[in-house]
Structure 1
Amino acid sequence: MTEQTAIPEGYWKDAKGNLTHDSLMKPIDKARDELVKELIAKGTALNQQLAAFKQAAFADIAAFIQLSAEQYEAVVGGKKGNITLYSYDGRYKVQRSISETITFDERLQAAKALIDECLKDWTASASAELKAIVNGAFDTDKQGNISTGRVLGLRRLDIKDERWLRAMTAIGEAIQVIGSKAYVRLYERIGDSDQYKPIPLDLAAVSL
């Protein structure tokens, strides 16, 4: 880690590291510098407040779930699980959601081989739509990634072929969770309707 070189008193350093004496600085450049640093300071403080709110919100929701479970002498383990909590009057709701990022290990190739065997034997009887669904599930995007949603969608097809069932087992065992993201979302009901609008917590979505 390199230490930042001290700037001599009465000088300003630009983005290239060049020094300019204060007397040579344009007022507009000074004003711009002051504005940017002021907004950064406020934004950093707001970011820290949001981080603290998120941490507290998850802790409070987890504590409430445990409190509710204790009413029935039940023990709730782990932090996973999506849940929606409503205010008593139904005006507000809070959602906690956990989104997992999954991928597949080498067992997906075994599943694909079994599926290919099935398609080869079904050539005469399988519909073109089924073939397109199955083959499309293993298409990759520009980054070479396979759509986990399309692959997992194959498990919903009602096919009884023994090789197909073994392929679906291989897909299930090939799933690897490589990360997860946790969200807290706040909503307010729109008038007397059953629709809710989000209370945005990011700058881009906040109305002016």
Structure 2
Amino acid sequence: MADLVIPNGYLQNALGHLVPVAQIREQDLLRDEVVRTLAHDAKLLSEALREFKERAMRDVEDLVTVAAEKYGAKVGGDKGNLSLVSFDGKYKVQRSMAAVITFTEELQAAKALIEACIEAWSDGADNRLKTLVMRAFKPNTKGELNTKAVLGLLRLEMKGFDGEVDVEWAAAMEALRDSIQTSGTTAYVNVYERVGVSDKYRHIALDLAAVG
């Protein structure tokens, strides 16, 4: 379907209706101009970041290939984490490969077992611990679980009065482990600049939230 051609002197509103510019409030026109300008610039920056990431990954991989060819080695399989430093030590580039973790339907079984444990401990369990444990299963606004929080439960050792690991908790953790599924890897490129002549490096922010 072809885009609607908007005639001169009109703007299209959110419902798809054409509205004469003369009938639109000045404040609405000003807001429209600001939002459109920022959105346009944001799209350009997003595309530039995408191109930078592709080039950075390609350049790093080319460097690895050159090094491998020098020693007659063949590099294959998963790309690993690398840390590259400029000759003068001023800049550092890190390539990181992180596993993409998802959970199968067995996570629901793990959650039910954990809830049963907390219910059984209700008389003596610390309310803060209950909140910490169950918060791991609370999805964010996008309906996604906090993977780090869920995996963090595996580090908790719940022991009974006899000092042994609680049997029900152990079963819950087994179900949790069985629910973990690796669905691929995500590549990250981070660039750092050395702070003065120290051994510390400052991250060069490439995301809006981190820019001061």
How far apart are the structure 1 equivalents of 2:45 and 2:118? Answer: 56
Inter-CA distance 193–181: structure 2 relative to 1 (3 Å threshold): same
The answer to whether the 8 A contact 2:84-2:94 is kept is: yes
- The 5 A counterparts of 1:1-208 are 1-5=1-5, 7=7, 11-16=8-13, 17-19=18-20, 44-69=43-68, 71=71, 73=73, 75-79=75-79, 81-100=80-99, 102-112=101-111, 114-115=113-114, 128=125, 133=129, 136-139=132-135, 140-141=137-138, 143=140, 146-158=145-157, 160=165, 164-177=169-182, 181-202=186-207
What does the per-residue CA deviation read over 1:155-199, in whole Å, with 9 as the maximum and x for residues that have no partner?
Answer: 224565565444333212202356765332211101011222222
Code of the residue aligned with 2:19 in structure 1: it is N
Query: What secondary structure does 1:138 align onto?
Result: helix
The answer to whether the 8 A contact 1:134-1:154 is kept is: no
What does the per-residue CA deviation read over 1:85-127, in whole Å, with 9 as the maximum and x for residues that have no partner?
Answer: 2223321111223455534322123334555676788899xx7
After alignment, is 196-205 or 180-189 more displaced?
Answer: 196-205
Code of the residue aligned with 2:199 in structure 1: it is D
How many residues end up aligned between the 2 structures? 192
After alignment, is 37-46 or 67-76 more displaced?
Answer: 37-46
The answer to whether the 8 A contact 2:118-2:125 is kept is: no
Query: What secondary structure does 2:109 align onto?
Result: helix
TM-score w.r.t. the length of structure 1 is: 0.63
How far apart are the structure 1 equivalents of 2:39 and 2:148? Answer: 39
Unpaired segments ≥5 residues, structure 2: 160-164
Inter-CA distance 192–200: structure 2 relative to 1 (3 Å threshold): same
Report sequence identity in percent: 39
Code of the residue aligned with 2:189 in structure 1: it is V
TM-score w.r.t. the length of structure 2 is: 0.62
The answer to whether the 8 A contact 1:138-1:151 is kept is: no
Inter-CA distance 165–67: structure 2 relative to 1 (3 Å threshold): farther
Cα deviation, residue 50, structure 1:
2.8
The answer to whether the 8 A contact 1:138-1:147 is kept is: no
Structure having the higher Rg = 1
Q: CA RMSD in A?
A: 4.5
